[in-house]
Amino acid sequence: MANMRNKACIPIPKIITFPGTAGESVGKTVGVAVGESVGVAVGKTAGETVAKAVLEAVGEPVRKEVVNRLPLTVVFRTVLTLLGAVVVFGVLTVSSFSDAGGTVEYVPIPTETLLANPYVGFAPDARGEGCITPFSLVYMGLTWRELEPSPGVFDFETLERAYHFGRWTSEGKKFILRIMMDHPGSVPHTDIPDWLYAETGGAGTTYDGSLGMGFSPDYENAVLLEAHRRLVSALGDRYGGDSRVAFIELGSLGHWGEWHTMQEIDLFIPFPSISVSSAYIRHYLTSFPDKMLLMRRQFPLAQQEGMGLFNDMFGDEAATIGQYLSWITNGYTSGLNGDVMPAMPDFWKKAPSGGELANGAGGSVFLHDDSIQKTVELARATHLSWIGPNVPDMSDTVSLENAGKLLEAMGYRFSIRSEKHVMLGKRKRMLLGSLLLENKGSAPFYFPWEAMLALVDEQGHVVKNILLLRDIGTVMPGEITLPYRMDIPQDLAAGTYRTAFAVIDPETGKPGIQMPMKEKTGDGWYLLGEVVVVK
């Protein structure tokens, strides 16, 4: 073992923090820091194990009477004094080293560019031309009438042409899908197929009310319920394994598929009991087991199945704070039929919060200078990830600038605050360091993509990469320090390299998430600190 009193021989970390308090983990970490292979005893107390590992590394005897008597934190501080180290508990970082090379610390240069990141932002109607800001999602709101013109015949090809599946797929956009049985309009009509209207005996309510005109089916009708099961099953067969479809909004019930019906003094449209509405929900759960599902209201099954939620009145302060946010925070009793809806305050940590701007085309008012601060606050309070299909008019400079402020608050927004590393080992072939990753958004990323750290040459080519984080979706809003160790290939040519960070899209195998950082390679790796490799 090396004698650590001869500090000129091996670089000694001045500040080390450890990923936990398990003896084996810390012992190995210290061994790595001093460039030694540390044998760790098994079956001992945590304090004794750690002390033994550390003291073996520095060539000192183990004082069992000390480690068995003192708290583990005291043991750490006592034994690591021999390394000239200050112990801070948390995660592994390296702040400064006493060797000649020292620590490399890199702070990226931020940018203000609008980012077209996957699964967040504005989601314009897929039948249109998109929107002026960068976007990655498009919206597909279908009526049953257009989807199944005759029993068992599903006209997917015609619909996919109408919603520009080919174009959007070629541009890398993903779809949000909702099915509706009742879309209020300005003229009398039905949104279920004529054949189904006939088979159900016209059971339901033809209405002309405050929301418009249309037909609300009798959702408790057994024929309708069974036909709906077949419909959703066909949709699942078509899109359940289709990566082009990102999210499924559970529409089906209520006006616009928003799970409510008009219940006014002169017009009362019944809403089904919770046992019936739950049957509709189960159709989606059965047919889309691998898709992320969202509901307009937090029915018990939504809570039990970890679903997301969507707010189709986003921007309207009374509806967003007084209803949507209050509902998910506290739960509520439905005024439609007295059913109790549970609180789901933390749903957004596992599944997205989506929505649509209130007031139809008038939703652009939420981007005006006198309202944008409140709109941003509402987005953060509700952990909003996307808005669609009603997106704001951004044709004027002020609205476009304020749209950028809103987009920055929506969903995730990753950036690297800093990266630090040092070269260790007798041949300087061990890179030990950490980076400070920040999620400046209001929600996590909802897919288990891997975060990687790479070493790139001066041409931007990756010469080595390691797994840094298996699931970027675990990074909530805030900061997290990610430690790493990278062994430099022995045959790597001498020269100047850079560490680099990327979140990898599993579909392409390439970097898939953009960050507001200036320096990056041509294929999307974000450049960090410099690494000088010598022979």
pLDDT digits (tens, 9 = 90+) for 383-437: 999 999 998 888 888 989 999 999 999 999 999 999 999 998 777 789 999 999 9
CA nearest to 301, candidates 312, 293, 290 = 293
Which 3 state secondary structure label does DSSP give 10? coil
The pLDDT value given to residue 103: 86
The alpha carbon torsion through 26, 32, 36, 37 (nearest 10 deg) reads: 70
Distance CA 125, CA 262 (A): 26
Residue type, 170: S
The pLDDT value given to residue 128: 95
DSSP 281-315: HHHHHHH-TTSEEEESS--HHHHHTT-EEEEEEET
Whole-prediction pTM: 0.81
DSSP letter for 279, please: H
Q: What is the pLDDT of residues 4-61, one digit of tens each?
A: 322 222 233 333 333 333 344 444 444 443 333 333 332 334 444 444 444 443 333 3
* Residue ranges in the chain modelled with pLDDT below 50: 1-101
Cα–Cα distances in angstroms (integers) from residue 102 to residues 82, 166, 410, in the given order: 20, 54, 39
